[in-house]
Structure 1
Amino acid sequence: MASTQLAVHKRFDIDFPVSDPSTAQVTSASACEVRQAWARIPDPLSQQQTETLRERIVHRLKSQQAALVAHYYVDAQLQDLALETGGCVGDSLEMARFGRDHPASTLIVAGVRFMGETAKILSPEKRVLMPDLDANCSLDLGCPPDAFAAFCDANPDRTVVVYANTSAQVKARADWVVTSSIALEIVTYLHQRGEKILWGPDRHLGHYIQQQTSADMLLWQGSCLVHNEFKGDELLELKKAHPDASVLVHPESPASVVALADIVGSTSKLIAAVTESTAGTFIVATDQGILHEMQKQAPGKTFIAAPTAGESATCKSCAFCPWMAMNGLAGVNACLEHGSGEIVLDPALGRQAHKPIQRMLDFAAAYKKNIRASGDLSQDVHLFSQIGPA
């Protein structure tokens, strides 16, 4: 049996922000052009192949002192295998922090490339392998380091805040790295300090935070291939058909979709919502890979995927990330058998990218410990002294 079965290629349209060469400004979605990216589609495995690969992976993880960490958006088989073998399923930061704190000397990161890079940044002494190094992200692809650096250089008076869905090079250029679970709090804090923000790369998440905080934010105009496809009109029709359903929306979605949400939040927050809410039915606007964990957390509840296109239309993403789908059992086995898919970062780059990530981690720890129930960051005089200036 071949060690990997990734052969079929499929192409997808992604937003690619185009700046004015004289100013490096990318301030509106109309400044984007459509470019194509590709993903490999794994061949389906037979039951026998699946069982054989699982056995090999379990054995090799143990013998090599390796840990499998997986994102909520990868195939359910990988999520379950990670948990069964003492690994982790989580969002990108949870994956990286778990890997940092785990005694394993080798981390197998089932996700997309920026997640493997983040794991390597936080665990430079460990070997970090990925089932497919070409598993990318439209936000990462749509935010080239040189172009983003020019954008930052053209706006030197702004604090640079970048979403975790970016390359190590972009992170290294930032003052702060944020995830969707802490972005709102960090931008609120910076805004109350009177700082102007340069945000990248997801324009929908940036717009949502801007609306919530009234912060002065200049937005890079990237978007997530999956979340950008959700449609407000179709979601409204689905709500009418399920009037008792609670609508869960990731803030990378367009504003028309966010406006219809009962709960807006990160993958972790949306998962928590299904157990905390009294609702019995949920309409979920994020990658459908999350439904596996939601069903496990709340087996008696009903989950409906939010629409990515109108009735009878053909959707591009269908709420599945094509790059997350590049992760499979064959690729994980190849990592362990051949040491393939290793993330290699220049140590100096890794150290520079670590600084804004650590600043976020310090903020989150101080916020959790010190913030008052009112949520007024400006009144917590000890918070910033524990973090240090950007």
Structure 2
Amino acid sequence: MTSADPVPRPEGRVEIPPHPRWPVLNPAAKTALTERIKALLHAQDAVLVAHYYTDGDLQALAEDTGGCVADSLEMARFGAASRARTLVVCGVRFMGETAKILNPEKRVLMPDLRATCSLDEGCPADAFGAFCDAHPDHRVVVYANTSAEVKARADWVVTSSIALAVVAHLKAQGEKILWAPDRHLGHYVERMTGAQMLIWDGACVVHEEFKAFALERVRKLHPTAAVLVHPEAPDDVVDQADVVGSTTQLIKAVAELPNPEFIVATDTGIFWKMQQVAPGKRLIPAPTIGVGATCESCAHCPWMAMNALQNLEAVLRRGDQEIQVDPAVAARAMIPIRRMLDFAQARGLGSRRETD
């Protein structure tokens, strides 16, 4: 069973920024900068939470200072469990918003509030609200990679590891389902569950660029490699995977599978953690090369790249990049988020860290 064609998104393209060109720090300068950041974190009773797709220096610093390196939902959960009064979120804006929704009493800072996400940008709240209004008989399921305003219109918020279970649950109840924003993840969920959904026409600018024909070539060059794919990738890339899963699930696969090599179709920022858990294994970026390509694999989010040691220090000194979420919006967004968390807990679905 398949859906109809994806729902057309509003006019206009997501503006993709160039990757920032941060100055290369020599070892002494990096050490000095890191020590200053550690002192600032301590002085401000702050804890650092970093996504798997951010720079390895930030991930290392988060772990070294008692912070958290994880997917977006675990970042927010960690913040809720922490006694720190300030959360510094190294990631993209929807992650900061989710952290604020789950931790309304805490100050939430980000190195750069302009760090957004193509899935979030491609699903504006007004247009999405109108789409929901046009289909009032559908249950609204939105991916975590959305704004607080979009989450506030949802019945369910899901991450990539729990999406299958939630949609299967709704299908068993005979519910009609409206899905947003990632069409590739939506199609994957449809195929795996047999559900039929109205799917918003959104995509991740990183995962959408993986090329199936080029992946076939790389697989022939590395016949012992396992192929790991995030379900935000196109169907013909997912079809070649040995493991399809969330960021945490892909990291777990590298650690547990016996293969000496892995071809990885997700943001290359994840390689830092993969190399940490499996230092003896070779990681190969899945190719994004195509007509007009300037690199073999360009799989790194330009918004994630806005996070760096330099602006992390700056925001701790100034405190001016603070996430704010309207309390009324946050209260409505908390309902579908809490529904997902309660659903996972009641069914014992995975660990706290196997989310998106």
Which of the five TM-score ranges fits, normalised by the shorter chain? over 0.9
Q: Do residues 37 (structure 1) and 16 (structure 2) align?
A: yes
Corresponding letter in the other structure for 2:160: S
- Structure 2 CA distance for aligned equivalents of residues 369 and 130 of structure 1: 30
Counting only pairs closer than 5 Å after superposition, residues 96-111 of structure 1 correspond to structure 2 as 96-111=76-91
Q: Do residues 86 (structure 1) and 63 (structure 2) align?
A: no
Corresponding letter in the other structure for 1:357: I
Map of 1:70 onto structure 2:
50
CA contact (8 A) 1:308 1:317 kept: yes
- Which whole-Å deviations, capped at 9, do the CAs of 1:263-308 have from their partners, x for residues lacking one? 0000000000111211111000000000111011011111100000
Normalising by the residue count of structure 2, what TM-score does the alignment of the two structures yield? Answer: 0.93
- Structure 1 CA distance for aligned equivalents of residues 21 and 69 of structure 2: 21
- Which whole-Å deviations, capped at 9, do the CAs of 1:56-92 have from their partners, x for residues lacking one? 1101111211000000000000000000000000000
- Structure 2 CA distance for aligned equivalents of residues 270 and 369 of structure 1: 17
Map of 2:353 onto structure 1:
none
Q: Identify the match of residue 162 of structure 1 among 138, 142, 148.
A: 142
- Structure 1 CA distance for aligned equivalents of residues 336 and 297 of structure 2: 31
Shift of residue 52, structure 1, vs aligned partner: 2.4
Shift of residue 45, structure 1, vs aligned partner: 3.6
Shift of residue 29, structure 1, vs aligned partner: 6.6
- Which whole-Å deviations, capped at 9, do the CAs of 1:79-131 have from their partners, x for residues lacking one? 00000000000000010000111000000000000000000000000000000
The structure showing larger relative contact order (alpha-carbon pairs under 8 Å, at least 6 residues apart) is: 2
Q: Do residues 231 (structure 1) and 189 (structure 2) align?
A: no
Q: Do residues 27 (structure 1) and 6 (structure 2) align?
A: yes
Q: Structure 2 unaligned runs (5+)?
A: 351-356
Q: Identify the match of residue 194 of structure 1 among 155, 170, 174.
A: 174
Map of 2:103 onto structure 1:
123
Shift of residue 51, structure 1, vs aligned partner: 2.2
Shift of residue 50, structure 1, vs aligned partner: 2.1
- Which whole-Å deviations, capped at 9, do the CAs of 1:20-56 have from their partners, x for residues lacking one? xxxxx98357987644332561421422432222111
- Structure 2 CA distance for aligned equivalents of residues 173 and 30 of structure 1: 17
Q: Structure 1 unaligned runs (5+)?
A: 1-24, 371-390
Normalising by the residue count of structure 1, what TM-score does the alignment of the two structures yield? Answer: 0.85
- Structure 2 CA distance for aligned equivalents of residues 160 and 214 of structure 1: 17
- Structure 1 CA distance for aligned equivalents of residues 296 and 304 of structure 2: 15
Shift of residue 315, structure 1, vs aligned partner: 5.1
Question: Superposition RMSD on alpha carbons, in Å?
Answer: 2.0
Q: Identify the match of residue 116 of structure 2 among 116, 136, 139.
A: 136
- Structure 1 CA distance for aligned equivalents of residues 116 and 230 of structure 2: 20
Indicate how the Cα distance of structure 1 residues 96 and 42 shifts in structure 2: closer, same or farther if over 3 A, else same: farther
- Structure 2 CA distance for aligned equivalents of residues 338 and 286 of structure 1: 33
SS of match in other structure, 1:289: helix
SS of match in other structure, 2:69: strand
SS of match in other structure, 1:37: coil
Indicate how the Cα distance of structure 1 residues 30 and 114 shifts in structure 2: closer, same or farther if over 3 A, else same: closer
Q: Identify the match of residue 290 of structure 1 among 240, 254, 270.
A: 270
Aligned length: 346
More strand by percentage: 1
- Structure 1 CA distance for aligned equivalents of residues 5 and 42 of structure 2: 48
Q: Identify the match of residue 338 of structure 2 among 341, 346, 358.
A: 358
